[in-house]
């Protein structure tokens, strides 16, 4: 029996639902989700394995014009995935017409020999009659190999997307064990789950100014796991927002994040959180490296 395998990059503007799509295609939550743009900062790999194939999906940061060195990292990180993959999923929002951001991404497809799928996401939010004009507008910008409307949130048409992808992947072996769903260590996912809760409860500039560093993970007697983490912000005012009145906000963040981490590890979790201020950390290479962003991406 033929076995197919390959790497698929998921790209698009911020807030088009790429992380939701990754979780849907893999069948498990491995990427954090938020209604705020630029939620994803690192390339996150999700693995879907069946008897006949293995697909490695790469969820990338939303492509946008950088405003700081962290933004530079995110853009370079996304662009790099267009090389050496077997397919590209260009995810767009069904509720929005093509804009300058979409055209910037499409320009990156010029000269690619890799198949590029146009994946029109969030079709559950629009009337079917709206889809054809939207697809025509994208077709005028680039000749896509496939066009597949989906709802990553509801799972609509995602099976069609998977079946079509499998048909174009090359023959090859499995690159990961059958039960592995991501190549990121659990520590990274735990940090992301904490950051996700900060995104959910804060507004304005706070979500974009937050990083999370895991300080300790220790197994305790009885099978419980102690987790200590520090939430990094850029200003003292942001620290006050995250802590909240008498620590109420930080307590809420911890409670929600603990539930996600417990589902990930299958163990009882004791989660302790601190908040520290690191001024302008998004523009300081040594802080970016410290918080998990690759130093080589800042070299000219």
Burial string for 215-235 (b: 16+ CB within 10 Å, else e) reads: eebeeeeeeebebebbbbbbe
pLDDT of residue 299: 42
CA nearest neighbour of 154 among 24, 12, 1: 24
Look up residue 262 and give its two tokens.
């417990």
The one-character DSSP state at 291 is T
pLDDT of residue 138: 95
Residue with tokens 């999370």: 212
Q: Is 57 helix (H, G, I), strand (E, B) or coil?
A: strand
Look up residue 273 and give its two tokens.
């959180």
Q: CA 298 to CA 300: how far, in whole Å?
A: 6
Q: pLDDT tens per residue, the chain (300 residues)?
A: 689 999 998 988 888 888 889 989 998 887 766 554 455 555 678 899 999 999 999 887 655 454 545 555 555 565 666 777 899 999 999 999 998 888 888 888 888 889 999 999 999 999 999 999 999 999 999 999 999 999 999 999 999 999 999 999 999 999 888 888 887 778 888 888 898 888 888 876 676 778 888 899 888 888 888 999 999 988 899 999 999 999 999 999 999 999 988 888 888 999 999 999 988 777 776 666 666 665 444 343
Look up residue 37 and give its two tokens.
């743009």
Contact 139, 102 (CB under 8 A): no
Residue 203's CB is within 10 A of a number of other CB atoms, namely: 9
Contact 192, 29 (CB under 8 A): no
Q: pLDDT tens digit string along 52-97? A: 999 999 887 655 454 545 555 555 565 666 777 899 999 999 999 9
* Radius of gyration of the chain from its Cα atoms, rounded to whole angstroms: 20
Residue with tokens 């010029």: 110
The one-character DSSP state at 223 is G
Is 0.85 surpassed by the pTM of this model?
no
Contact 291, 233 (CB under 8 A): no
């Amino acid at each position: 029996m033929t076995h197919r395998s390959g790497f698929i990059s998921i790209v698009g503007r911020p807030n088009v639902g790429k992380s939701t799509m990754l979780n849907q295609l893999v069948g498990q939550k491995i990427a954090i989700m938020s209604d705020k743009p630029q939620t994803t900062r690192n390339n996150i790999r999700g693995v879907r394995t069946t008897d006949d194939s293995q697909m490695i999906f790469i969820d990338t940061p939303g492509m946008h014009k950088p405003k700081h060195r962290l933004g530079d990292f995110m853009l370079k990180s996304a662009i790099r995935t267009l090389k050496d993959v077997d397919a590209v999923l260009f995810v767009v929002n069904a509720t929005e017409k093509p804009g300058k951001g979409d055209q910037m991404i499409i320009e990156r497809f010029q000269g690619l020999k890799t198949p590029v799928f146009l994946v029109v996401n969030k079709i559950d939010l629009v009337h079917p009659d709206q889809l054809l004009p939207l697809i025509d507008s994208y077709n005028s910008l680039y000749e896509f190999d496939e066009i597949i409307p989906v709802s990553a949130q509801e799972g609509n048409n995602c099976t069609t997307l998977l079946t079509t992808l499998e048909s174009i992947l090359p023959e090859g072996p499995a690159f990961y064990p059958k039960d592995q769903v991501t190549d990121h260590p659990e520590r990274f996912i735990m940090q992301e789950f904490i950051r996700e809760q900060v995104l959910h409860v804060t507004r304005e500039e706070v979500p974009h100014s937050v990083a999370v560093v895991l300080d300790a993970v220790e197994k305790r007697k009885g099978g419980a796991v102690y987790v200590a983490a520090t939430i990094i912000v850029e200003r003292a005012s942001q620290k006050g927002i995250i802590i909240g009145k008498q620590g109420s906000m930080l307590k809420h963040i911890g409670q929600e994040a603990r539930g996600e981490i417990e589902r990930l590890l299958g163990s009882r979790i004791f989660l302790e959180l601190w908040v520290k201020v690191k001024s302008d950390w998004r523009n300081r290479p040594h802080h970016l490296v410290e918080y998990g962003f690759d130093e080589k991406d800042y070299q000219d």
